[in-house]
Amino acid sequence: MTDTKTAPAGVHEDGSSERLAIDTIRTLSMDAVQAANSGHPGTPMALAPVGHTLWTKFLRYDPAQPHWPNRDRFVLSVGHASMLLYSLLHLAGVKQPDGAPAVSIDDIKAFRQLDSKTPGHPEYSHTVGVETTTGPLGQGCGNSVGMAIAERWMAARYNKPGFTLFDHDIYSLCGDGDMMEGVAAEAASLAGHLKLANLCWIYDSNHISIEGGTDLSFDEDVGKRFEAYGWAVIHVDDANDVGALTRAFEQFRATNDRPTLIVVHSVIGWGSPRAGSEKAHGEALGEENVKLTKQAYGWPDDKSFYVPDGVQQGFEQAMADRAVPLREAWEASLAKYRGEHADLAKEVDAILSGTLPDGWDADIPVFEADAKGIASRDSGGKVLNAIAKKMPWLIGGSADLAPSTKTDIKDAGSFEASNYAGRNFHFGVREHAMGAIVNGMTLSGLRGYGSTFFVFLDYMRPPVRLSALMELGAVWVFTHDSIGVGEDGPTHQPIEQMVMLRATPGLDMFRPGDANEVAAAWRAIVEDHRQPAALVLSRQALPTLDRSKYASADGVKQGGYVLADSDGTPDVILIATGSEVSLAIAAHEKLQGEGIKSRVVSMPSWFRYEKQSDEYKESVLPAGVGARVAIEMAGEIGWDRYVGMKGRTITMSTFGASAPIAKLADKYGFTPDNVAKVAKEAIAANR
């Protein structure tokens, strides 16, 4: 490459098929962004040699079978450079299940258009070949660590002498923005600690951000930082040096004791008049600049979306020649494995198909009535362990809080560099990375879970949101769910977090009211592997309700159900979740003693309740009963949906305070006497 940032005309007129394919990636990316008049052309132009070298020479990936379980994973953490991935998928000839192209040339022409397979950022399950939804920077990096963990765990459990079912690698393409985001640093630190030698991050060091040069805010030596994390670090001084890239990937493949960071120095928008400028980052180059760039490449400047003869065939053949024999050998090995390791093979098949083992819920406990009760975090731990015994791929951990969240799997060992078969994960005080890593584990077929205190959802909101966007069955366990945390005070007492989760499309949040509702919630969560779920649990003990007196906890599957009732039409309906369910029961008994007919509705999951029929909803919350009171130690927003304009709420409109829980209950009105008082006010308002 020349020393100037803009390549002179004719630099690619070497006649090689390799350069022809690389420039095809570049020009497809330029043309798609220009046609959409929206997007990020500069990074695909700069990294085309990286993508081409990796995919055609190293990536173990069969384009005709893109869901082959032992394929290498390619994660585009720099999701704004989506046209790089779409161009690679097109040239590789990746197929949909029906044999149609995953990304056709027409799909590329429809870049960023409504209902196209080429949205602005790659979306998992929307476009075949996209391994995870990326865009929020750093998330793909965290996902890739989860994928590397999943491979190591599955290899440790299922590989046997003569049978190597899992030995794939994970590659993630990252940028300066990823390296600035804390989640990538958290994930990299843990990956180094775990010595994940199957993980390779390719860092595009182009020193450009949206605002200008990265020297405005970022001038650290990233390589030295990663060396401190325990990574092998390789530098490639020129992104166009295919030989150096090849040697770097070979060095990664030969490294077996740590993850690898390949620092690739590139020029954004390479070959264009905007090369090396932030103007090549987030906007179309402009028609004249596209023409000039094609001329610099020695490319026909009068053609758009041009794929020269032989480019796609050569690209696809290079990948297939390497991957097809590997895939076929793997399939033959799995068939033989089923004969020699039948029980383990059943587990593998269940993981790959997303099914559950027979009797997976047989040991879920039924909790006897107990006025003293048990904290839902404790009952949650008991249920988790009962399921985990029958479902070995239910694995996860906490952000350094397992003794408090009760999420340890008993006698299952810790996942560490010395024991990749362990099922308990120690994510450290890294909530954000934990979320992204759990998503990566779940994307690989495992049922991953992560746990922390509910208030620390604030540190991991992006991966929780992405699990919902991807329809990914990750499980989020949040304990210490309310002002019931008590003396820890308002910094640890969640208020607005409940609203955040309920506002997230596609996320099922449960706040169970006693131990048997916890069991029912876990059962519902595990049954649906395409549904992310949050389980919000208490630190304080909750009375275990007498189910011979009150309704069965099976009603949890409907999201909301009539727990306690009176004869005839109720005068007032009390609606509650979590620890406030037993409070509503106490108020119900008080009102009944005063001759006031009340109904108690437990509503652990708004998400599920909203999916029920109108007839079912009417049976639970009849329209003719306007006197309603919602009781929850969290923010009020949303409860008007259920209590109506003349209803009442006993909720939190402020942050909490540091005091014993009984004092806080008095202060904020969470007492049977106050609930009964407010219920009477609601009755009066609806006469």
How many residues appear in the chain?
Answer: 687
623, 571, 624: which is closest to 600 by C-alpha? Answer: 571
Helix (H, G, I), strand (E, B) or coil at 157: helix
Residues 50, 245 contacting (CB under 8 angstroms): yes
236, 208, 128, 547: which is closest to 369 by C-alpha? Answer: 547
What separation in angstroms does the CA of 207 have from each of 24, 66, 281, 647? Answer: 25, 34, 11, 57
Helix (H, G, I), strand (E, B) or coil at 114: coil
Q: Taking each helix axis from N to C terminus, what angle separates 431-443 and 461-469, rounded to the nearest 10 degrees?
A: 20
Calpha distance 651→635 (Å, rounded): 6
Ranges of H-type helices in 417-562: 431-443, 461-469, 497-502, 515-527
What separation in angstroms does the CA of 535 have from each of 20, 168, 685? Answer: 52, 33, 35
Residues 118, 103 contacting (CB under 8 angstroms): yes
Calpha distance 356→351 (Å, rounded): 8
566, 667, 684: which is closest to 629 by C-alpha? Answer: 684
Q: Catalytic residue at 431?
A: yes
Residues 38, 112 contacting (CB under 8 angstroms): yes
What separation in angstroms does the CA of 389 have from each of 272, 515, 643? Answer: 59, 19, 42
DSSP E strand boundaries for 124-220? 170-175, 199-205, 208-209, 212-213
Tokens 């949303």, located at residue: 638
Catalytic one among 131, 181, 278, 431? 431
- CB-based contacts of 220: which residues, under 8 Å, 6+ apart? none
**Residue 160: how many CB atoms within 10 A of its CB?**
12
Residue 356, token pair as written in the block = 């559950």
**In terms of C-beta density within 10 A (0-12 exposed, 13-18 middle, 19 or more buried), how is residue 573 classed?**
buried
Buried b (16+ CB within 10 A) or exposed e, 345-361: bebbebbeeeebeeebb
Calpha distance 635→172 (Å, rounded): 39
Phi/psi-derived region of residue 40, left when phi > 0, alpha when psi is between -120 and 50, beta in every other case: beta
The catalytic residue positions are 431
